[in-house]
Amino acid sequence: MSIINEANASCSQCGSPSTIKIYKSINVSDNPELKDKVKDGSLFLWECPHCGKVNLARYETLYHDPVKKLMVWMLTGNDVSETQMHAISNHTKAMGGYTLRIVTDTGSLMEKVLVKDAGLEDTAVEMCKYVTKMEMASKLGDNTRAAELFSSTFHFYRTEGEGDDRLLTFMYPLEGKMLGINIGINVYYDCIGILERNPHAKPDEGFIKIDSSWVDSIIR
Ligand SMILES: [Zn+2]
């Protein structure tokens, strides 16, 4: 079931108050029309009727795709209901095969949905980002630029092609520009292999955050 409420919001540019729709819970089996809006991020954007500024709404939401068995909890602060999270974890555990994730921004929520829809594991995708950054940084030969590259956030964007020719595209900001990099599916499979050979890389059960810090915690 999707839970859709109304809330008051102020425009970030002119400060005018508006009433906006907020999606506390998004079930894409019940409301398939919401999925594309999550994937392109438009669900969380609202336009100010006074000045035309497009604002990003920030609120907690639980995204649920029962077909793909994916639940992503997007948190905005530390106001996590541990009890609620635990109850849902137990419920999905009984159903089996669920991927439970925590994110703290809309870009990461979009990414989790895109990765799942592409049939990929987000753990291996995060490892791919790390490997790709290492590879790119080694070619830069400039410590400052390499450090900037490492601190920039890579987001999975799409896959193209079929079979062994399949490519994964990551987008990342660098020096004020949005850039893209393609990597071969073989890199992804290598990362799957690395994770399988590392028993401590198996994510804990329940809602967890799988991001660059998670990769750091494994390779350390
Ligand atoms: Zn405004």
Question: Percent of the chain beyond pLDDT 90?
Answer: 73
Q: What is the value of pTM for the model shown?
A: 0.91
Q: Is 100 exposed, middle or buried (0-12, 13-18, 19+ CB in 10 A)?
A: buried
Q: How far is CA 68 from CA 5, 25, 160, 207, in A?
A: 25, 16, 20, 16
Q: From CA 135, how far away is CA 190, in angstroms rounded?
A: 14
Question: 174 has which bridge partners?
Answer: 177
Distance 20 CA to ligand 1 centre (A): 13
- pLDDT band (50, 70, 90) for residue 80: low
Task: Locate 184 and state its tokens.
Answer: 């071969």
Distance 106 CA to ligand 1 centre (A): 21
Sort residue 75 into left (φ over 0), alpha (ψ -120 to 50) or beta. Answer: beta
Task: Locate 201 and state its tokens.
Answer: 């890389």
Nearest to 6 by CA among 42, 59, 73, 55: 59
Contacts of 108 (CB under 8 A, 6+ apart): 74, 155, 211
Confidence at residue 183, expressed as pLDDT on a 0 to 100 scale: 96
CB atoms within 5 A of ion ligand 1 belong to: 11, 13-14, 16, 48, 50-51, 53
- Average pLDDT value for residue range 69-80: 85
Query: For residues 202 and 216, is the Cβ–Cβ distance under 8 A?
Result: no
Confidence at residue 218, expressed as pLDDT on a 0 to 100 scale: 87
Distance 57 CA to ligand 1 centre (A): 13
Confidence at residue 95, expressed as pLDDT on a 0 to 100 scale: 77
Question: Percent of the chain beyond pLDDT 70?
Answer: 99
Nearest to 181 by CA among 134, 213, 219: 134
- 95 or 45: which leads in pLDDT: 45
DSSP E strands in 28-166: the ranges are 45-47, 54-56, 61-65, 70-74, 99-103, 155-160
What average pLDDT does the structure give for the chain? 91
Q: How far is CA 32 from CA 4, 63, 67, in A?
A: 14, 12, 11
- pLDDT band (50, 70, 90) for residue 14: very high
Confidence at residue 106, expressed as pLDDT on a 0 to 100 scale: 93
Interval 16-34: pLDDT, tens: 999 999 999 999 999 999 9
Confidence at residue 162, expressed as pLDDT on a 0 to 100 scale: 92
Q: How far is CA 49 from CA 6, 37, 45, 54, 162, in A?
A: 16, 20, 13, 10, 44
- pLDDT band (50, 70, 90) for residue 81: confident
Distance 58 CA to ligand 1 centre (A): 16
Q: From CA 114, how far away is CA 159, in angstroms rounded?
A: 10
